[in-house]
Each structure stands twice: as C-alpha cells, then as structure tokens.
C-alpha cells in the first residue's frame, strides 16, 4: 500500500521486550493448566510432568515482569502501582494479578513438595539442612492424614488457579483489544486468542522440557505421557487456530474502511512472519503432524504411528511442539510489532528491525528468556520433581492398625532441642 507517515510516527515504542513479555506470561498459564489437569481433573497420564510443570510455571512467572520493567527503564517505579493504586488503569492491574497469581503458585508448590522438603531436611547436613528446615517452616513431620489435608488444599488452589491463569494472560490480550485507535488490535477476540495461544505454547514447552530433561538425566521417556500431552496440545491448537481464523474472517466480511490497511499489512509487511511462520510453519504443519499421530490405530487408545514406533511418534511430537513455540512467538511479534507498523494516518507503514545490542536488543531478549531455565535448574536441584523418595515412604505398605508410618526426619542441629529419653521404668 503506497503512502506516507507523519514525523511523529517514525518510532515504534513497544519493542522486542514487549514481544517477550506476553510470550513468557503465556508459558506460565500453559504450564499451570497442565498441572491442574492432573491435580483437578485427575488425568493420570500427566503424572510424570505434573510436578515439573508447577516448577516450570513458577520459574517463568518470576521472570515474566522483568522484560516489562526493563522496557520501562526505571524498574523501581513498578512499586508505585501498589503505593498509589489506580483502579481505572488496565496496565496497573497486571501488578495485582501477577502478585496474586505468584502467591497462589508458591503456595501450591510448597504444598506439593512439603514431604520432599521435610525429607531433605532430615537427610541433609550443614547449611543445606537449615535451608530445608526454614522452607518447611519448622514443621518436620508429615503424616498420611496431614498429607491428605495437603492434597485437598492443592486441589482447591489448582482449581482457583485455572481462572486466575485465564485472567493473567487474557488480561494481556485485553490490553491490545481495548485500543480502539489501532485496527489490527481492536477486536473482542484478542483476549481469547492470547489465552488459547498461551495454553498451546505452555503445553508445547513442557513437551520439549520433559524430553530434554529425560535425555540429560539418562532416564526413559514416558511415551504415554507424551501421547497425552500431544492430544491436549492438538485440542487447544485447533481452538487457537479457529479463533485466529474467525478474527480475520470477521474483518474480511465486515470490510470496514480499515480493511485495506489490514490486508496490506498482512500481504506486505507481515507476509513472512504472519503467513509463513505463524500460520503455516507454526500452525498448520504441527496441526497436521498431531492429527496424524491421533489417527486411531489397531491397538485401542493408541494412534497409528504409536503402534508403529513410539520413539518416532515422540520425536514427531517434539518437532511439532518446537514449531508451535516458534509460531506463538511469531504471533506475539505480529501483534505487538505489526500493530505499530500501521501509521496513525492509515496511509502507510513503518519498518522495524530489532537491534542486536542495547537494552531492548536481541541479545538482551535472549538473556531474559534464558533466566527461567536457570531458575528451573536451581529449583529442580533443591527439590527434584522426578526423584521423590519422601512420597515413596508415605505410600508404602500400611503399618500397625492399618496406618502408613509417619515421615519424621531428624531435626536440624541447633534449631530443635532433642527431648530427653524416658526412664526405663516408665516405658
């Protein structure tokens, strides 16, 4: 579309860091949904990744606001939204949503891993022992009855976390959809599209992380778990692509005065990133792959390719998940950057090439994106979600009177005084 832009329109304000911000936030929502599928809906096939998905959600959640704060330039001013709250500001709402969701995820992680923390408090020594004692809040006793109460609380928190996850990422889509002056953003489907793509990207990331961790640890991959993740990924991917298609179809059918600008944006500026990467490479290719994997085979409950070779099917699932992650990132790029390429005069387009260095360059984005994986490594080193001997002790054969034995580790030295032994004559 030929045209021009005014001098005050030559700079794109929301850069690559703002592309990364909703992308990481989406991974949080998707990972938490996978955990809730196990804890709330009892999808037993997802048990191998249920605990890991919680730690992954927490890792990404802690980094989610960092890209946004780096973009602002004054991270210390972020606390102003709590000191001087503005109920009419949609952007200020993220601080409250993020804080509430963080507390919810931390509480659920603590409840899920409390037996492990207690176990390591008794089997460790030195500073590590004291850290576990503090993490256990000084309560170094886990009984089957207490564990049952913890599981009830976990289910309540996981249930409450589902709408919270929807609000967390649907809110990001709401910010863009509420900007009426931008025809590429202003659509009521924007919150739903952001939410569906968030769940899709979170499930895809868990597929990649679970397989990578299993290979690094030299442990066998649970192909049944991968198969279940592939099915959930396929279901949410179909909904996501349907919502994006309905959005474009609605714009095309209404054919408002802004449609020539939108169609030109797609065919000129976003041809590769939107049509090539988001729709084809990150949408229809993984969709076709997952559909083939889901074709019913001769064995009940297994797709045709799984009956042929589970390893091949797992590799195809991982490849589809990687393409989905690329496609969702391209979607964030096309929304954030693409929406700013349309001039306010609706008569031309802007160009944007992200710098390599600088505060908002490609290298900075790579650093921010690597932080959740470092946090994930630290957390899984302290409380491994795959080796859980504490649960094994709680779940073995019942002891006297039909009750499983309590898990009571040795107290940390210097923190709890040992009780003197009772005299023999009183035993």
Structural domain boundaries, residue 109: 14-178+356-415
* Neighbouring C-alpha atoms within 13 Å toward the C-beta of 333: 22
User: Is the pTM higher than 0.95?
Assistant: no
DSSP code per residue over 53-92:
HHHHHHHHHHHHHHHHHHHHS-GGGGGHHHHS--TT-TTT
Within this chain, do residues 86 and 156 fall inside the same structural domain, yes or no?
yes
317-357 pLDDT, tens digit per residue, is: 999 999 999 999 999 999 999 988 887 777 778 888 888 98
- At 394, the pLDDT band (50, 70, 90 cuts) reads low
Residue 424 lies in a domain: no
Within this chain, do residues 135 and 78 fall inside the same structural domain, yes or no?
yes
- At 260, the pLDDT band (50, 70, 90 cuts) reads confident
Within this chain, do residues 148 and 242 fall inside the same structural domain, yes or no?
no
Burial class of residue 261 in the structure, from the number of CB atoms within 10 Å of its CB (0-12 exposed, 13-18 middle, 19+ buried): buried
Joined together, the tokens standing for residue 182 give 């931008």
Residue 427 lies in a domain: no
Residue 406 lies in a domain: yes
Within this chain, do residues 275 and 404 fall inside the same structural domain, yes or no?
no
* Neighbouring C-alpha atoms within 13 Å toward the C-beta of 301: 6
Distance, in Å, from the CA atom of 236 to the CA atom of 226, rounded to the nearest integer, reads 15
CA-based Rg of the chain, rounded to a whole angstrom? 25
Within this chain, do residues 25 and 173 fall inside the same structural domain, yes or no?
yes
Segment holding 386, helix H or strand E: none
Within this chain, do residues 18 and 137 fall inside the same structural domain, yes or no?
yes
- At 401, the pLDDT band (50, 70, 90 cuts) reads very low
User: pLDDT at residue 424 above 60?
Assistant: no
Residue 81 lies in a domain: yes
Within this chain, do residues 345 and 385 fall inside the same structural domain, yes or no?
no
178-235 pLDDT, tens digit per residue, is: 887 788 888 888 999 999 999 999 999 999 999 999 999 999 999 889 999 999 999 9
Q: Which of helix, strand or coil describes residue 303?
A: strand
Domains contained in the chain, number: 2
């Amino acid at each position: 579309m030929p045209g021009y832009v005014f001098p005050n329109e030559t700079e794109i304000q929301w850069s690559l860091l703002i592309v990364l911000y909703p992308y990481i936030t989406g991974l949080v929502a998707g990972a938490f949904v996978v955990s809730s599928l196990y804890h709330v809906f009892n999808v037993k096939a997802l048990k191998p990744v249920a605990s890991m998905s919680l730690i992954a959600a927490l890792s990404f959640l802690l980094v989610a606001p960092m890209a946004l704060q780096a973009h602002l330039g004054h991270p210390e001013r972020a606390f102003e939204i709590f000191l001087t709250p503005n109920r009419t500001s949609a952007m200020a709402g993220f601080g409250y949503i993020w804080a509430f969701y963080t507390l919810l995820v931390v509480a659920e992680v603590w409840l899920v891993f409390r037996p492990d923390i207690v176990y390591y408090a008794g089997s460790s020594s030195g500073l590590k022992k004291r850290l576990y004692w503090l993490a256990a809040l000084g309560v170094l006793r886990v009984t089957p009855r207490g564990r049952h109460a913890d599981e009830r609380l976990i289910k309540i928190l996981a249930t409450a976390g589902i709408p919270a996850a929807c609000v967390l990422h649907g809110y990001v889509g709401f910010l863009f959809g509420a900007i009426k002056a931008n025809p590429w953003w202003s659509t009521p489907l924007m919150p739903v599209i952001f939410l569906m793509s968030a769940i899709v990207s979170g499930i895809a990331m868990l597929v990649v992380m679970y397989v990578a961790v299993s290979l690094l640890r030299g442990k066998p991959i649970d192909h049944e778990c991968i198969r279940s993740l592939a099915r959930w990924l396929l279901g949410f991917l179909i909904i996501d692509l349907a919502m994006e298609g309905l959005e474009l179809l609605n714009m095309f059918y209404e054919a408002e005065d802004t449609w020539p600008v939108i169609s030109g944006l797609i065919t000129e500026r976003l041809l590769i990133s939107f049509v090539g990467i988001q729709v084809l490479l990150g949408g229809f290719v993984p969709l076709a792959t997952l559909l083939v994997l889901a074709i019913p085979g001769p064995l009940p409950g297994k797709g045709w390719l799984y009956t042929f070779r589970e390893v091949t099917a797992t590799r195809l699932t991982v490849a589809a998940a990687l393409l989905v992650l690329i496609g969702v990132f391209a979607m964030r790029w096309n929304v954030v950057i693409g929406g700013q390429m349309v001039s306010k005069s609706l008569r031309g387009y802007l160009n944007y090439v992200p710098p390599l260095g600088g505060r908002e360059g490609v290298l900075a984005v790579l650093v921010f994106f690597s932080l959740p994986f470092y946090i994930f490594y630290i957390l899984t080193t302290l409380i491994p979600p795959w080796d859980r001997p504490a649960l094994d002790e709680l779940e073995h054969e019942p002891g006297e009177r039909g009750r499983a034995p309590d898990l009571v580790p040795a107290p940390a030295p210097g923190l709890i005084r040992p009780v003197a032994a009772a005299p023999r004559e009183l035993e």
